[in-house]
Chain A
Amino acid sequence: MKRSDEFPQASRRTVLRSGSALAACMVLAVRPAKATPDEMKAAIHKVIGEATIQTGKVHLDVPPLVENGNTVAISVSVESPMNAASRVKTIHLFNEKNPQPNVASFHLGPRAGRAEVATRIRLADTQTVIAIAELSDGSFWQDSAEVIVTLAACVENM
């Protein structure tokens, strides 16, 4: 575990320490190098190639309003019989405004049984999150959601 690295010297953690944490937090919240919707499109294109994406089948579950963008619970489920003839192969997650559009790709084995995954993600700002499922027949399906991040994420000084 590397978490202790955050506090190399206990004696120096006073106002300064809180100040630097605030600065670090700020970078997360308002860093200039943000991905753009175009970059997200490019990242999606890389995954799906020339295929078209249909809307449906995928259900993206993410709270519309989150208390802290550092840890946002998100889950994706896809309607599918999940058998040898028809199943979900991959679920991709993208976001619009983090510095990088990719969030994660989940590859489900043939024995997955249910096309459902959950994780926790960081959202630097209020933005759209997109989930895209790739099915065994080569089709792509998507769902998207708008998440509002309350900026009170930055409160190490509060």
Chain B
Amino acid sequence: MSRQALMRLAHFSLAVLLVAFGFAASATEIPLSERKSGYEFMGPQSRAMQDDDTANPGMLSVFDGEALWNAKTGATNQSCAGCHGDATQSMKGAAARYPAFNASRGRPLDLEGQINLCRADRQQASPFAYESRELLALTAYVARQSRGMPIEPTIDARTQPFLDAGRAIFDLRQGQLNLSCAQCHDDQWGQRLAGTVIPQGHPTGYPQYRLEWQSLGSLQRRLRNCLVGMRAEPYAVGAPEYVDLTLFLMWRARGMKFEAPAVRP
């Protein structure tokens, strides 16, 4: 089967989905008590892989991140640890609060953005490329310190406009299929799409080890995949729209437990 044929197949299954379920024009929000992490839609095998640190391949990156955390680098020859000390203390809960407003940038930054900011401004080293091994590893290490903690981004007068922008993207019907994120993740969760269960789309476990990717990947990578699936033009790598969308998704998942590095099929 050619790639085009597979694309057609995927297209076809989406069309079937559209007809079969009859998408509502506007989606309804999931009541807080009915929210479920993607973990709950997985089979026992994938759950076991996430639950056991010695079996979760995402932990390989966490340990890489620990080494990077302690390595002196940049023009200042400073390590992350040099300023932040023991990450198991200083970074506890940090990832569960991101994206967070950054005054110097005048907008929220996601965790990757904050880490790269420290790298550029505090260590005076060149920022890591998005999706690079190093950025994923440091993010995974910092994120791991929030495991089990409730997600709680700060929504105030400064972040509200960005939350609204993120929500607008989530509700926007876009792409050749004229679908919105909400139509799948608010309205059709639990249904099957070409064999895959549509989860509620919560960002509880990033960076995450996806069996499909066979590696760790960021939430931005996941969001790009969804946009491509909608036949929409993905935003440029590192674009602010992803941060707004992430802020909205984190708010939508407020109170849910952070579980990075998660495993997903």
Contacts and interface: CB of A to CB of B under 8 A. Distances in A.
Contacts of B229: 155, 157-158
Given A73-B49, A157-B10, A152 B195 contact: yes
Contacts of A153: 212
Given A1-B133, A10-B131, A73-B48, A157 B212 contact: no
Interface string B227-240: 01100011011100
A3 B215 contact: yes
Interface-centre pick from B7, B215, B265 (highest chain A CB count, 10 A): B265
B131 A68 contact: no
A107 interface: no
B131 A7 contact: yes
Interface size grouping (class) on chain A: 35 or more
B7 A63 contact: no
Nearest to A4: B133
Nearest to B1: A30
B6 interface: yes
Contact of A152 (B7, B45, B194, B214): B194
Interface in B142-196: 193-196
Contacts of B134: 4
Contacts, number: 107
A70 interface: yes
A71 B6 contact: no
A112 interface: no
B224 A67 contact: no
B241 interface: no
A34 to B, nearest CB: 13
A72 to B, nearest CB: 8
Contact of B211 (A11, A18, A23, A71): A71
Interface in A17-32: 18-19, 21-23, 25-26, 30
B1 A10 contact: no
A6 B217 CA distance: 11
Contacts of B60: 1
Given A23-B3, A67-B265, A14 B237 contact: yes
Contacts of A68: 211-212, 265
Contacts of B133: 1, 3-4
A156 B212 contact: yes
Interface string B203-233: 0000000011111100000001110110001
A157 B131 contact: no
A13 B234 CA distance: 10
Contacts of B214: 70-71
A63 B237 contact: no
Interface string A118-156: 000000000000000000000000000000001111111
B10 A158 contact: yes
Given A70-B211, A157-B228, A158-B193, 11 more contacts: A3-B216, A10-B132, A10-B238, A13-B130, A14-B236, A15-B233, A23-B3, A67-B265, A153-B212, A157-B7, A158-B10
Interface of B: 1, 3, 6-7, 10, 42-46, 48-49, 60, 64, 129-134, 193-196, 211-216, 224-226, 228-229, 233-234, 236-238, 265
